[in-house]
Amino acid sequence: MTGARVAVVGIHGHGASHVRNVARLAEAGRAELVAVADPQGADGLPAGVKVFAGLDELLAATAVDVVVICTPIQTHVPLAELAMRAGADVLLEKPPTASLAEFEQLTAVVEETGRACQVGFQAQASEATLKLAAMVAEGQLGELRGISATGKWVRKAQYFQRARWSGRRRLDGIDVVDGAVTNPLAHATAAALLLDGSTGVDDVRSIETELYRANPIESDDTSSVRITTSRGTTILIAVTLCATEHREASVIVHGSEGRAVLTYQSDLIGETKYGRADLLENLLAHRADPAVPLYVPLAATGGFTRVVEAVRTAPDPSVIPPAQIDWQGEGPDRRPIVHDVEHWIDRASDELALFSEIGAPWSRAG
Ligand SMILES: NC(=O)c1ccc[n+]([C@@H]2O[C@H](COP(=O)([O-])OP(=O)(O)OC[C@H]3O[C@@H](n4cnc5c(N)ncnc54)[C@H](O)[C@@H]3O)[C@@H](O)[C@H]2O)c1
C-alpha cells in the first residue's frame, strides 16, 4: 500500500516540515510524496520524487490526490484554485487568503469543485485548544469576561530579508498582509476565536485595530486588535515581534470563576499537556471517509479572515518613535526591542484594552 499521492508546493521555508511529514506518513504506507513544485528547485528528496518549477507544470505531468501549499500568502488562492480544479484536495497554509474577497472566491471554488480544503492552523487540532473550547462552552470558568491572546516574539532582520513578500502589506499591487497579527501570530487570533466558538465569517461583529511597527517594514510588528464577536465576547489580541526575549504565545480565557491559559504551541492548558492531531493525516482520513470532519475547513477560518480584512484595510502602521526602541545585534541578527512591550501587552490582555487606551508611551496616546 502506498497511500494518497501527495505533492508539496513551496518547500524551502516552512514547507520543508511538510515534506518531512509526508515522508513520515509514507513510512506508515499512508501517503506517497510524488512531486514538489518550487521555483528554487529541490535536492535531497527521496528517489522518484519529481521536481517542477510551478504547480501548473506539476499538475500537467503528474496525477495527485492531495496538494500541500506552503507558499507566500499572495499565491495561496491561485494555487489552491488550480489544485482543486485539477481534482486534488488541499492542505493550504495559514493565513488562507489576504482579503475577504479572496476568501469568498476560494469558498466558491470549494463549493463548485466539492474538494476538501484544510487550512494549516495546526493549533486548532490540538486537544488543548479543543478541550478549553469545550470548557468555555460548558461555562466551566463561569461567565465569560473576555478572551485575550498575547504574543511576545523575537524576529531578527534575517526574517524580514528572507523573501520579498516578508513584512509587506502589498507587493506588485497585490495584497499580502504579512503582519504580526495576520501571519506569524495568526494562530493566536484563530485559537481565541475558536475558544469563543466564533470561527465563521458571520461570527464577528466588529474589529478595532491599532497597528505599530519598529522594524523598517511596511506591516505591523507590534499591535493590539479588539474583536467583538456576534455572541458579544470581547477578544483582545496584543502581540509583538520586538520582545526582549522570545516566549511562547498564549491565549487566556477570563471567566468570572477563574482564568485558563492555553499555550497552543506546546498543547498546554496551564501545566497540563495534551495531544495533537496532524492536519494532513486528518485530511487523508476525511478523504477515505467524508464522515470524518476536517479540523480546519476553509469555512472555519472566516472569522479569522475578517481580522485579516480589518488589518488589510486599516491605515499603515504607526511608526514607534526611535527613543522608545533599543536595537540589538548586527546585520542579519539586528532586531528592535520596544520599551517595556511585555508590560503593555500584559496590561492590554488583563484589561482587554488597546495600547492607546492604557497609555503605552509608544502608542498613539503617548
Ligand atoms: N503553520 C505554521 O505554523 C506556519 C509556520 C511558518 C509559515 N507558515 C506559512 O507557510 C507559508 C510559507 O511561509 P514561509 O515562511 O515558508 O515562506 P518562504 O518565503 O520562506 O518560503 C516560501 C517557499 O515557496 C516557494 N515559492 C514561492 N512562490 C511559489 C510558487 N508560486 N510556486 C511554488 N513555490 C513557490 C519559495 O521558493 C520558497 O521555497 C506562509 O503562508 C506562512 O504563513 C505556516
**In terms of domains, do 108 and 149 share one?**
no
Name the domain boundary from 121, 148, 178: 121
Nearest of 220, 134, 141, 217 to residue 184 by alpha carbon: 220
**In terms of domains, do 192 and 320 share one?**
yes
303 CA from centroid of ligand 1 (Å): 23
For residue 2, the model assigns a pLDDT of 73
Q: Where are the beta strands (DSSP E) in the chain?
A: 4-9, 31-37, 50-52, 66-69, 89-92, 117-119, 144-152, 170-171, 174-175, 204-213, 222-229, 234-240, 250-255, 258-263, 268-269, 272-273, 318-319, 325-328, 335-338
**In terms of domains, do 216 and 239 share one?**
yes
| Candidate from 20, 43, 71 with most ligand 1 atoms within 8 A of CB, to mutate | 71
Separation between Cα atoms, residue 118 and residue 321, nearest integer Å: 41
Protein residue closest via CA to atom 10 of ligand 1: 70
200 CB under 6 A from ligand 1? no
pLDDT tens-digit map of 23-43: 999 999 999 999 999 999 998
pLDDT tens-digit map of 354-366: 999 999 999 988 7
**In terms of domains, do 188 and 102 share one?**
no
**In terms of domains, do 113 and 188 share one?**
no
| Candidate from 55, 91, 93 with most ligand 1 atoms within 8 A of CB, to mutate | 93
Provide the 10 A C-beta neighbour count for residue 122. Answer: 20
42 CA from centroid of ligand 1 (Å): 14
15 CA from centroid of ligand 1 (Å): 6
CB 318 within 8 A of CB 360: no
User: Is residue 364, in this structure, part of any structural domain at all?
Assistant: no
For residue 237, the model assigns a pLDDT of 98
Report which ligand 1 atom has the smallest distance to the Cα of 75. 31
At residue 1 the predicted structure's pLDDT band, cuts being 50, 70 and 90, is: low
**E strand or H helix at 1, and its extent?**
none
60 CA from centroid of ligand 1 (Å): 22
pLDDT tens-digit map of 232-259: 999 999 999 999 999 999 999 999 999 9
What CATH number should be reported for the domain holding residue 210?
3.30.360.10
**In terms of domains, do 41 and 22 share one?**
yes
User: Is residue 363, in this structure, part of any structural domain at all?
Assistant: no
**In terms of domains, do 215 and 181 share one?**
yes
**In terms of domains, do 165 and 114 share one?**
no
Protein residue closest via CA to atom 19 of ligand 1: 163
At residue 130 the predicted structure's pLDDT band, cuts being 50, 70 and 90, is: very high
93 CB under 6 A from ligand 1? yes
Q: Residue 19's Cα: distance from chain center in Å?
A: 19
C-alpha cell at 146: 473576555
272 CB under 6 A from ligand 1? no
Separation between Cα atoms, residue 303 and residue 293, nearest integer Å: 19
**Domain with 205 in it:** 123-276+298-351
**In terms of domains, do 158 and 208 share one?**
yes
pLDDT tens-digit map of 77-101: 999 999 999 999 999 999 999 999 9
10 CB under 6 A from ligand 1? yes
Separation between Cα atoms, residue 151 and residue 251, nearest integer Å: 9
178 CB under 6 A from ligand 1? no
78 CB under 6 A from ligand 1? no
CA distances from residue 138 to 11, 52, 282, 334 in whole angstroms, order as listed: 41, 49, 26, 46
pLDDT tens-digit map of 42-58: 989 999 999 999 999 99
**In terms of domains, do 49 and 138 share one?**
no
User: Is residue 34, in this structure, part of any structural domain at all?
Assistant: yes
35 CB under 6 A from ligand 1? no
Report which ligand 1 atom has the smallest distance to the Cα of 10. 24
75 CB under 6 A from ligand 1? yes
163 CB under 6 A from ligand 1? yes
